[in-house]
Amino acid sequence: MEVAVPEGPKKDLLHVPASEGQSVWIGADIYTLKATKETTGGSLSLMEVSVPPGDGPPPHVHSNEDEGIYVLAGELEFFTDGRTFLAGPGDFVFVPRGTVHALRNVGVHPGKTLTMYTPGGMDRYFAGVGTPAEPGVPPAPQMSPEQLQKAMGLAQEYGLEVRLPEGGPQ
């Protein structure tokens, strides 16, 4: 019996050791790109995300990707469709494209997630907005006006709608 092999770009096995991956700061959040659109043949983007207490992205919508968030550490409060809930280590949250959502670290310790987007491509947004993380140098406590302008400028290109509160970020 012959097995049909799907046509498309060839994907090679990918191994990214724990200490590797491009790390960028967006405000005080740290995004480490573990799998990119390029390294997965467009299948997905995977990032390890560290969110300090009190921080998290504002309400936003992805029009092109579904988002999966696996919580590794911390207490994260999620907001979606008029619903609020807490997620902790071991919890998984799936956000279908087109869903308004946000999260905030409500704990006293940094939150950490593995965040995946399908199909791939959002890694380019984070790499484009973020500034390279440097060992031993603390990140800015919040996004600079320049970083916010870059984030808003790239959002439309990546099918992202950010819904900032009246008066800008808080």
Mean per-residue pLDDT, 88-112? 97
The tens digit of pLDDT for each residue in 31-47 reads 999 999 999 999 999 99
**Which of 7-16, 37-46, 140-149 tops mean pLDDT?**
37-46
- Above 70 in pLDDT, residue 167? no
**DSSP 8-state symbol, 146:** H
Q: Is residue 169 part of a domain?
A: no
Structural domain boundaries, residue 117: 22-161
Q: Is residue 121 part of a domain?
A: yes
142 vs 108, higher pLDDT: 108
What pLDDT, on a 0 to 100 scale, did the predictor assign at position 142? Answer: 81
Q: Is residue 3 part of a domain?
A: no
Q: What pTM, to 2 d.p., does this model score? A: 0.86
Q: Are 85 and 109 in contact (CB under 8 A)?
A: no
Number of separate domains in the chain: 1
Q: Is residue 9 part of a domain?
A: no
Q: Is residue 16 part of a domain?
A: no
Q: Is residue 168 part of a domain?
A: no
Give the 3-state secondary structure of 3-45.
CCCCCCCCCCCCCCCCCCCEEEEECCEEEEEEECCCCCCCCCE
Q: Is residue 57 part of a domain?
A: yes
Q: What is the CATH number of the domain that holds 152?
A: 2.60.120.10
- Above 60 in pLDDT, residue 51? yes
